[in-house]
Structure 1
Amino acid sequence: MVEKLRGYSEDITKKDHAIFSKIVSDKLDKWQINQVLTPSEIYPRQQYVIATHWHPEFVPMELNQQRIETMFPNRKDELIIPTQHNELMSYGPYTGAEVDCYASGFDEKVQLLIHFETERLQDNDTMLRSMLAHTRKYRSSQLFDFIHSFTKPIDERLHAAAKKTGVEPSAVKFACIVVGKIEQLLNEHWDSVPEFSMRNKLIRNYIDALRPEFGHRFIDRVQTFVQEVKKIVKLSFPLEYFYRASEIIEETRHLGGSIIIPHPEQFWPILLGRYDVDGYEVWNPQSNRYTEFLIDVVNEHNKYRKSSSKQLLILMGDDCHQGEKTRRKDEQDPEKTGREIGLQPAWDDLNIQKKLIRGGVTRQGIIEEYRNRLSG
């Protein structure tokens, strides 16, 4: 390994170009398509499918649809709305997005799920699309701050991450060389790099592509270090350039859309914000410690809401990132790969069901009620 690291050149090679071209491409190879179309499990007993928080990424909708049809062959009803990060995307009659925004009241970045009946948008969504484009552009600037942490370099970030993770100097040096190559390749191919690739994942995916050459053990250590640097970058990222949550909500309502707050346990004060939303996501795969508590909170809110006000809805999200399904098995994040569109086991958890019954909440009922709200 020592000799391999010594021989790893800072110069861009044909292999580097090939790796870069592959990870920024939106074209899927046959084996990737097969992975998308072949779920690990089938759920023949699930009759109602709701998915209001999932990310198609670069996987074509027709492939996502085939996967859903395979997973839930006996479904009677469904409500499926994609929520790409800061970009409106449509599936069947519905359009949605997950929007990064700023909660000025408690000075934190939050996310909102915005959903629409596609026909109601028509040509009136120019302002919203411009707001989302601004947000994507701002988010992509974080990638370059991340890159500059290694290429400038910003020593205090690197030292802090190395101390926290305990990685050896060779891993730090290797990460700096690799990210330097990524920066050069981005500059060289700037005009042809798809917008969806301009995210922090670009660095993770490039480093993972080096596993065959440097082995899992070493690359795992490098990734641990790089991810810690990313956390430091995120903590220092200014929030005031995001649109305020209230502005996103106002524009969504203007267009006849609905709003759900996802994983509220990641930004607790939002429960007290009295935002004009339709409901809360009380469970998703990465945010499920307080599901029963959140159900109680929503039920309590509904108990004291005015009779003229709509009830807050209880939803669950799978937070599935379909791009993960296209990665080679040894490069996948097992936790993320296990997430599936429309799969929310908490609906069938007996303890959670007790809470849902008290609020008169069923998966079928939520599908019907939310569909009615979306139709106006």
Structure 2
Amino acid sequence: MEAVKKIGAAARCADIDLREVPAEATEEERAAFFQVIATELSPEQVVRIVQPQQTYPRQDYVLAVHWHPEQVPMELVDKRLAALYPHSQGELVIPTQHNVLLHRGDYAGVEVDCYSRGFNRKVQLLLHFKDIKLERAEVLLCMLKHTFKYRSSQLFEYLSTLIEPAFEDRLQQAAAQTNTDEDIVGFVRLQARKLKELLLENEERVPDDAIKNKLVRNFFDALRHRYHDRIIDKAQVFLKAAKEIVKRHFSLDYFYRASEVIEEARSLGAGVVIPHPEQFWPILLADYDVDGIEVWNPQSQQYTEFLINVVNRRNRMGWHGKRPILIFMGDDCHLSEKLKAPAEQDPAKAVREVGLQPAWDDYAIRKSLIINGVNRKKVIEEYRSRLS
């Protein structure tokens, strides 16, 4: 059955004949590769950033301390924020790129991968700074560079899992979990091999920021003009399962301990926030020196009220002295998702927005926040005071 989507063809096909898939990267696939590693924005992408489809004129305060600009320049981020929240009376907006310190105005931030030795699991921390002196931050910057390089190496383990016979058990596990047939697995293997070859062939031209797991998803999405959407959709489901297996096997030995990261960050006057509490809940028991806990996130919404009450109970008991734990909510927006054509966007990620955390206005959650005197304005003022 024909797997290639002909221009103008109306038929949709769920099966694939691997004999029709070229063994070597085609010119179209090479173009797709360079498209997904590009850092310069096209005029259409600039418009997608500065002209959001929806705005929030009734939101008066903008608190965003967990979001990822990725390749979007900060001046375009500023224009987007002005369009999103035209009546904002105050803001605290700090970028938190993965393992790369980024600045916006007087503030800088980063989301750091590290591990908690107490329960032997990878965790993440948000670090925020005001007027950080880079000449004093040499150790932290070296720690981040090391972590960035090690975390980036997971892409190659991911690709090896998709390609190498030595990882066949992982592939079979992912196929079983997703009920993926052999033809789709074969298609994924073939395209993953091409992607790895293109990466190695163009090593000097590939930006460091492009070397991450999402490159695989983006590359396959860029093939939609050539292969039926249902084939790519099936491949993406399988790829996601394989990626999670790779993450579970990825060694923690080369990450810094959370306590080491916090100690170095605190020496530079950083604020520290724990994100994704639902995923990393044992970190809440470790009693780390942090300023706040993220009680809501697009990926972590199940225990928001419980976490609010836990934080408030600990504060009332005086566990944290004169610096009570602050309540944060994270939008976890990845702006690269906004750069894609609407048909290629992941709907769950595309709805995320810098500074947009609907939980602040949820009636049940708001009830708990009001009782404990918590709102965006107060958190902004308190955290800004701590960072200064």
TM-score by length of 2: 0.94
1:170 paired to 2:170: no
Alpha-carbon distance in 1 for matches of 2:239, 2:91: 40
Counterpart secondary structure, 2:126: strand
In 2, Cα distance between equivalents of 1:307 and 1:228 = 40
1:3 and 1:92 map into 2 onto residues whose CA distance is 50
Query: What amino acid sits opposite 1:327 in the alignment?
Result: K
Query: Matched residues in 2 for 1:116 and 1:155: separation?
Result: 45
How big is each residue's C-alpha offset from its partner over 1:121-146, in whole Å with a ceiling of 9 and x where there is no partner? 34211111110111111111111111
AA paired with 1:358? I
How far apart are the structure 1 equivalents of 2:159 and 2:219?
A: 13
1:136 match:
148
Q: In the TM superposition, what is the alpha-carbon distance from 1:306 to its structure 2 partner?
A: 5.4
CA deviation string 1:64-117 (max 9, x = no partner): 110100010011110000000011001111100000100000111111000000
Letter in 1 for 2:189: C
CA distance in 1, matches of 2:126, 2:346: 24
What secondary structure sits across from 1:212 in the alignment?
coil
Partners in 2 of 1:110 and 1:86 — Cα distance?
Answer: 13
CA positional deviation for 1:283: 0.7
What residue in structure 1 maps to residue 297 of structure 2?
284
1:51 aligns with 2:64: yes
Q: RMSD across aligned C-alpha pairs, in angstroms?
A: 1.2
Matched, 1:120 2:132: yes
Please state whether the residue corresponding to 1:120 is helix, strand or coil: coil
* Inter-CA distance 259–3: structure 2 relative to 1 (3 Å threshold): closer
Asked if 1:353 corresponds to 2:358, the answer is no
Equivalence for 2:11:
none
Pick from 299, 309, 312 the counterpart of residue 299 of structure 1: 312
Matching of residue 9 in structure 1 with residue 22 in structure 2: yes
Contact 2:273 2:292 in 1 (8 A): yes
Give the unaligned 5+ runs of structure 2: 5-16
Of 355, 367, 376, the match for 1:363: 376
Per the alignment, residue 91 of structure 1 pairs with 104
The answer as to 2:173 corresponding to 1:147 is no
1:247 to 260, 278, 298: 260
User: Quick check: 171-180 or 300-309, which moved more?
Assistant: 300-309
Partner of 1:260: 273
Q: Counterpart of 1:276 in 2: which secondary structure? A: coil
Residue 211 of structure 2 is matched in structure 1 by 198
**Partner Cα separation in structure 1 for residue 327 and residue 69 of structure 2:** 23
* Structure 1 residue aligned with 2:40: 27
Letter in 1 for 2:119: F
- Structure 2: which amino acid aligns with 1:72? Y
Over the matched positions of the two proteins, sequence identity in percent amounts to 50
Q: Pick one of 83, 106, 130 that aligns with 1:70.
A: 83
- For the residues of structure 1 that align with 2:171 and 2:285, how far apart are their CA atoms? 37
**1:226-246, CA deviations, whole angstroms, 9 ceiling, x for partnerless residues?**
111111111111112100000
Provide Cα deviations, 1:240-292, integer angstroms capped at 9, x if missing partner: 21000000000110001110001211111111111000010101111111000
TM-score by length of structure 1 reads 0.97
**CA distance in structure 1 between the partners assigned to 2:142 and 2:319 by the alignment:** 35
Q: Give the unaligned 5+ runs of structure 1.
A: none
1:101 to 114, 122, 129: 114
Kept in 1, the 8 Å contact 2:3–2:228? The answer is no
State the Cα distance separating 1:3 from its structure 2 match: 5.5
Aligned length: 374
In 1, the alpha carbon distance for the partners of 2:162 and 2:67 equals: 31
Aligned-partner Cα distance in 1 for 2:38–2:75: 18
SS in 2 for 1:260: strand
Give the C-alpha shift of residue 214 in structure 1.
Answer: 1.1
Q: CA deviation at 1:160?
A: 1.1
The residue identity in structure 1 corresponding to 2:186 is: K
Letter in 2 for 1:134: H
Shift in Å at residue 372 of structure 1? 0.3
Equivalent residue for 1:237, pick from 243, 250, 265:
250
SS in 2 for 1:113: strand
Distance in 1, matches of 2:225 and 2:30, equals: 16
Which residue of the partner structure matches residue 312 of structure 1?
A: 325
- TM-superposed CA distance for 1:358, in Å, is 2.1
In 2, the alpha carbon distance for the partners of 1:321 and 1:179 equals 24
